[in-house]
Structure formats: C-alpha cells, structure tokens
Structure 1
Amino acid sequence: MTGKPAQPVLSDGDLERLGISRNLAEYVADIADDHGPLTPAQRDQLAVLLRPDPTKRLARGA
C-alpha cells in the first residue's frame, strides 16, 4: 500500500447508473491501490461484474 488515498474507480455518475454503493467502490479502489491501477478494460469488466442483477430487483418489487 502506498499510503496515499485510493482514487475512485468509478465516478458518482457510474455508481448511480449501475446501482453500486460508494462503499463497494471504495473497497475496489483499495484493492486497486494495493495491486496497481486498473486499466480501462479492467474497469469496464469490473462495472459489468458489479452491476446489480435486474431480475432480483424485479423479484423484490413483485
């Protein structure tokens, strides 16, 4: 760990659009800080992996 605060992996707009919590994003940023910054392709893959499952959201609303 470098001792510097981790840079946000996803912007606030990304978090809102994807429905991902800031806590989860900060956790991922800590991992990135420990292992080096994520590439744009890795950030895209991460966003897909963290995206909420819409079927679960529908099931809760039913």
Structure 2
Amino acid sequence: MPAKSQAQQMAAGAALSAKRGEKRVSELDGAAKQMYESMDEQELEKIASAKRKNKPKHNTKS
C-alpha cells in the first residue's frame, strides 16, 4: 500500500527509521508513533518508498 500523501510517507519513514534502530522511539509522535506500533518493517517500507511526485502534502479524503 503506497502512501496517499507526503505527510503519510514522511511519518512512515520516521517509524521505519525507529524500527531499524536509527532513531529513538521517544522522538516519534502522532501518526509516526501509531505506525511504529501497528505495522511491521515491510509494511512501513512499502509506504515510505512510494514516489512523492504528484502527491498532496496532506490527504483530505478519507
């Protein structure tokens, strides 16, 4: 499942970084912390690796 917005992609990247031990979990907040707790490394990598071109900064659709 690729990211639907740049914000979602950045949150997934931060969570992935924490999963890999490159960033402290205590530095995460909001969506990044929720993603860290609920997703595994493979799921986070799929979301974080999506192309950013033509993605909105925030997804307004539910």
TM-score w.r.t. structure 1 length?
0.29
Larger radius of gyration: 1
More helix by share: 1
TM-score w.r.t. structure 2 length?
0.29
